[in-house]
A and B are shown apart, each in its own frame.
Chain A
Amino acid sequence: MEQKKDYFEGEYMPQMNRIGKITGLLGVILCFCPAVALALVYGLLPQPAALLTAFIAGAASFGALWFVEPISYYPVLGTVGTYMAFLSGNISNMRVPCASMAQAAAEVEPGSEKASVIATLGMAVSIVINISVLTIGVILGSSVLSMLPATVTNALNYLLPSLFGALLVQFAMKKVKLGVVVLAFGILIYLAINGGLFNWLPGASNYLPTLGCIFFSIAVAMLTVDKKKEGEKA
Chain B
Amino acid sequence: MSVSELQNSAVMWVACGIPVVLVLVQAIVFARKAYQAGPKLGLTQKQMKAGMRSSAITSLGPSVVILSGMLSLLVTMGGPVAWMRLSLIGSVMFESLAAGFGTASVGVELGSSGMTELAYTMGLWTMILCSIGWVIFATLTADQMEKVQKKVTGSNPAMLTALSSAAVIGAFSSFCAQNIVKVNKNTIAVILGGLIMFVMMKICEAKQIKWLRDWALTFAILGSMIITALLPV
Contacts and interface: CB of A to CB of B under 8 A. Distances in A.
A32 B179 CA distance: 35
Contact of A88 (B27, B139, B225, B229): B27
A187 B178 CA distance: 7
Given A42-B117, A210-B171, A227-B156, A186 B217 contact: no
Interface residues of B, number: 154
15 contacts: A19-B30, A23-B26, A54-B125, A54-B126, A76-B168, A82-B142, A117-B38, A118-B43, A134-B63, A134-B87, A158-B185, A158-B224, A165-B189, A167-B197, A169-B194
A134 B52 CA distance: 20
Contacts, number: 585
A123 to B, nearest CB: 7
A31 to B, nearest CB: 5
A212 B24 CA distance: 32
Contacts of B206: none
Interface in B172-207: 172-181, 185-187, 189-198, 201
B97 A75 contact: no
Interface string B135-161: 111111111011001001100111111
Given A46-B122, A74-B142, A158-B185, A218 B167 contact: yes
B23 A109 contact: no
A163 B54 contact: no
A36 B37 CA distance: 39
Contact of A159 (B55, B64, B136): B64
Given A134-B66, A227-B158, A110 B168 contact: yes
Contact of B50 (A62, A106, A129): A106
B138 A137 contact: no
A199 interface: no
Contacts of A8: 37, 41
Interface string A86-125: 1111111110111111111111111111110110111111
A87 B194 contact: no
Contact of B201 (A78, A129, A173, A234): A173
Say whether chain B's binding surface is mostly helix, strand, loop, or mixed.
helix
B67 interface: yes
A57 B59 contact: no
Contacts of A15: 33
A62 B94 contact: yes
Contact of B55 (A126, A161, A172): A126
With most chain B CB atoms within 10 A of its CB, the pick from A38, A46, A162 is A162
B106 interface: yes
Contacts of B129: 51, 55, 58
A66 B134 contact: yes
B75 interface: yes
A33 B12 CA distance: 9
B42 A114 contact: yes
Interface string A30-68: 111111111001101111001101110111011101110
Interface in A121-154: 121-131, 133-135, 137-138, 141-142, 144-145, 151, 153-154
A90 B62 contact: yes
A101 B217 contact: yes
Contacts of A32: 128
Contact of B166 (A20, A83, A124, A221): A221
B172 A88 contact: no
A198 interface: no
Contacts of B131: 31
Contacts of B66: 90, 93-94, 130, 133-134
Interface string A1-37: 0001001100011011101110111111011111111
B164 interface: yes
Given A38-B124, A209-B174, A218 B83 contact: no
A153 B192 CA distance: 19
Given A34-B12, A213-B170, A213-B173, 12 more contacts: A33-B16, A37-B12, A37-B15, A51-B129, A87-B88, A88-B89, A93-B92, A105-B53, A165-B189, A225-B162, A226-B158, A228-B158
B111 interface: no
Nearest to B141: A70
